[in-house]
Amino acid sequence: MTKAKVWLVRAILLLWSVQLIWLAWYFAPEVKELAQSVADRRLGEEVRREDPYYRWLQSLAGLIPSGATYIFLDDYEAGKEIIARYHLIPRKHVLLSPNVPPIFLFYKVRQEKAAFVIIRDKERPPGPGLSAALGSPAFQPLDVPGPGLVLQVDYLKVRGEFYD
Amino acid sequence: MIDLAVNLLRLGLGLGAVFFVGHGIQALALPISGEWRKLEQAAMNFGLGTVALTLWMLALTLAGIPFSLQVTLVPPVALSGVILILKKRSEKGMVRRAHPAENRKPKTENLVWDRIFLALLALLLLFATLRATFYPMWAWDEIATWGCKAQVYFMSRSLDLTCIEAHNYYPNLVPFLLTYLYLCLGQVNDHLAKAVFPLWGAMLLVILGFLLRRMGLTRTQTRGTVAFFALNGTVFIVHLHLAYADLALAYFALGGAGLIYLWLQDKAPRGSLAVAAVMFAGMAWCKYEGPPLAGTVLLAAALTLLWLRPPGLGGRLLRLGIPGAGLASGYLPWKVYLIKNQIEAGSDHIMGFYPHQLLPSLGYLVDGLFNPFYFGILWPAAFLALVWAGRRLFNSASLFLALFLGGNLLAVILAYVVAPTGAAEFEMYVRATLDRLLLHLTPVAALAVGEGVKELGEGPGANKSPALFPNPHHNPL
């Protein structure tokens, strides 16, 4: 092996050693939290229950019958609707944007025979679809404590047979 | 506490059955099992078992039979048992061939480093196992795709796509395996079922180790290279505890490409191509990217043979049809299902040609390869090892590694040039996918690193062209 190669190998080993130290530093907070979970014997469901959003979804699961369909108003990018879908299976999940126009929201409610409309973030100013829904007797807000808003829907009272 | 113990027992038995089913398949594939080490066999068996079990679940779906533990498990286990009994009888009186001596290196081991590397790997796997099994699924694709499907399939006891709107065309090896584990556990327990992922990673490391040993590395060099692969960057470590399909694809890609690489060098134990065939089936059946990836392994192998022109070239090229058949057997059943159910495949990833995405893709790829956050210094080391090989690269089977890796890096750029994303989304799309696409290739890049490491241990008189088809009459089938 030439001298240059020897130095190259040494450089790689040195860089790898630095990499190992960096990895230990990078994963240290995770390892610390994991050690705490192991010490407290907190696993699976118990870890999940620490999340208020999950607790809210659990209360929704108690409210929405398993064969029902719900419309979830949220931005896909927020990554919250996939959590809702995961925990509310086998209920049918329809995602719409919070800015959905009234005509399309009403159409989807009828088309999907939706029983509930769920708004993930109740602090966000309501979009046009939600504003119209709140003014309609077909949508009844329910008192479910949590970060979002839940409306029970009687889809038979909703007009919106077609959408173009 | 008792519940947890019972669940762990059920999980252990369920995973044990996967190994057992794989053992049966391997018994079919290997003429004489003595050429394979027990641990090596076990690591391969796990992959073979997952492929067989989940393809069986697809067969049940096509036949309209609902999933249950009995229906899912009993026929493959019984078949495996029968194969093993018949194999045992047929092997009676046969002399087992010892592990080929030419693959053994003289004992120039360093016990201290051996232990340090093993301890590092053990720590990593302990962390990954605890991290996987203590925390429930919450990463994006776990709950949006793989874990979500598994939960639906378990609840409906069938391949039910009614409540999933996106990616219905994705192959189902991982969701079916999780469904099977839920059947074993009798419930959806997404944190315990995740134990399968660190196990998968451990099996990948074992396979990598045995491939490196068969390539001619000493034990210390092997363990060092495996540790160098596993503890470089964050991507592999994170995937050890994620319920994604990427680690599975990396495992099958390493198994398939690694065995083909040994076969090209005449260092593969007998039955390697048959085992590689099942690995190819696994590639096709675990991710949408699997079939093209498997295709590039075959293409790189064929080009290497055509370039090197070893004796018996025609026969060798024909024998590549064995893994090719494996690829078809993993790809076609799901394709039949998609056609039967009129499910369109791939339009969210491939649509048109967008040349303006070419240069940005190249930039992101360079970042993915050289930014130590992703894979540490593994890719630079692999490139250096290939450059180090110099001219030998073009007259040895190492050419296969260069063609496979280089071809796939070009394919990654191409994949981004045909991806239908808006200008605002493009960066997010690449950042969400690039590290995973590279993960599929990285274990094979570690084989290139292994070639470089082997050079370090070779003195001036060492054979500098070990991959020149030393025995054209040896049939490693």
Q: What is the pLDDT of residue A51?
A: 92
Q: What is the pLDDT of residue B94?
A: 66
* Contact between B266 and B397 (Cβ < 8 Å): no
* Contact between B245 and B149 (Cβ < 8 Å): no
In-domain check, residue B236: yes
Question: Taking Cα atoms as reference points, which of B388, B44, B378 lies closest to residue B224?
Answer: B378
In-domain check, residue B351: no
Residue A47 touches partner B, C-beta closer than 8 Å? yes
DSSP-H helix ranges across A41-145: 45-49, 52-63, 81-88, 102-112, 128-134
Q: Could you read off the pLDDT of A45-96 as tens digits, one per residue?
A: 889 999 999 999 999 999 999 989 999 999 988 889 999 999 999 999 999 9
Q: Could you read off the pLDDT of A6-26 as tens digits, one per residue?
A: 888 899 999 999 999 999 999
Q: What is the pLDDT of residue A42?
A: 86
In-domain check, residue B369: no
Q: Which residues of B touch A40 (CB under 8 A)?
A: none
Q: Dihedrals φ, ψ of A124, to 5°?
A: -70, 135
Domain interval for residue B63? 2-79+113-344
Residue B471 region, left (φ>0) first, then alpha (ψ -120 to 50), else beta?
A: beta
Token pair listed for A115: 């029983």
Q: How many domains does chain B have?
A: 1
Mean pLDDT of chain A: 91
pLDDT digit of tens for each residue in chain B (477 aa)?
Answer: 788 899 999 999 999 999 999 999 999 888 766 788 999 999 999 999 999 999 999 999 999 999 999 999 999 999 999 999 998 888 776 655 555 544 555 556 788 999 999 999 999 999 999 999 999 998 999 999 999 999 999 999 999 887 676 688 999 999 999 999 999 999 999 999 999 999 999 999 999 999 999 999 999 999 999 999 999 999 999 999 999 999 999 999 999 999 999 999 999 998 999 999 999 999 999 999 999 999 999 999 999 999 999 999 999 999 999 999 999 999 999 999 999 999 888 766 666 777 888 889 999 999 999 999 999 999 999 999 999 888 889 999 999 999 999 999 999 999 999 887 777 788 888 988 999 999 999 999 999 999 999 987 754 444 444 443 344 334 434
Share of residues in chain A with pLDDT > 90 (%): 71
Q: What is the pLDDT of residue B1?
A: 76
Q: Which residues of A touch B190 (CB under 8 A)?
A: 44
SS percent in chain A: helix, strand, coil, step 5: 55, 15, 35
Q: Which residue's structure tokens are 């719900």? A: A70
Q: Which residues of B touch A37 (CB under 8 A)?
A: 134-135
Contacts 24+ apart (CB under 8 A), A152-155: A152/A115, A152/A116, A153/A109, A153/A114, A153/A115, A153/A116, A153/A117, A155/A109, A155/A110, A155/A112, A155/A113, A155/A114, A155/A115
Q: What is the pLDDT of residue B461?
A: 42
In-domain check, residue B422: no
Judged by CB atoms closer than 8 Å, whether chains meet at A44 and B162 is answered as no
Judged by CB atoms closer than 8 Å, whether chains meet at A82 and B148 is answered as yes
B412, HSE (Cβ side, Cα atoms, 13 Å): 26
Separation between Cα atoms, residue B77 and residue B19, nearest integer Å: 10
Q: What is the pLDDT of residue B263?
A: 97
In-domain check, residue B88: no
Give the β-pairing of A69-73 and A92-96: parallel
Residue B269 touches partner A, C-beta closer than 8 Å? no
Of B135, B191, B377, the CB nearest to A16: B377
Q: Domain locations in chain A?
A: 3-43, 52-157
Q: Which residues of A touch B128 (CB under 8 A)?
A: none
Instruction: Give the ipTM.
Output: 0.90
Residues 366-395 of B with CB under 8 A from A: 372, 376-377, 381, 384, 388
For testing contact with chain A, the best of B3, B138, B456 (most A CBs within 10 A)? B138
Residue A42 touches partner B, C-beta closer than 8 Å? yes
Q: Which residues of A touch B134 (CB under 8 A)?
A: 34, 37-38, 42-44, 47
Separation between Cα atoms, residue A115 and residue A96, nearest integer Å: 15
Q: What is the pLDDT of residue B233?
A: 96
Judged by CB atoms closer than 8 Å, whether chains meet at B137 and A85 is answered as no
Token pair listed for A25: 């530093």
Separation between Cα atoms, residue B185 and residue B74, nearest integer Å: 16
Of B131, B148, B234, the CB nearest to A86: B148
Q: Which residues of A touch B135 (CB under 8 A)?
A: 37, 43-44, 47
User: Could you tell me which chain A residue has the CA closest to the CA of B384?
Assistant: A8
> What's the whole-model pTM score?
0.92
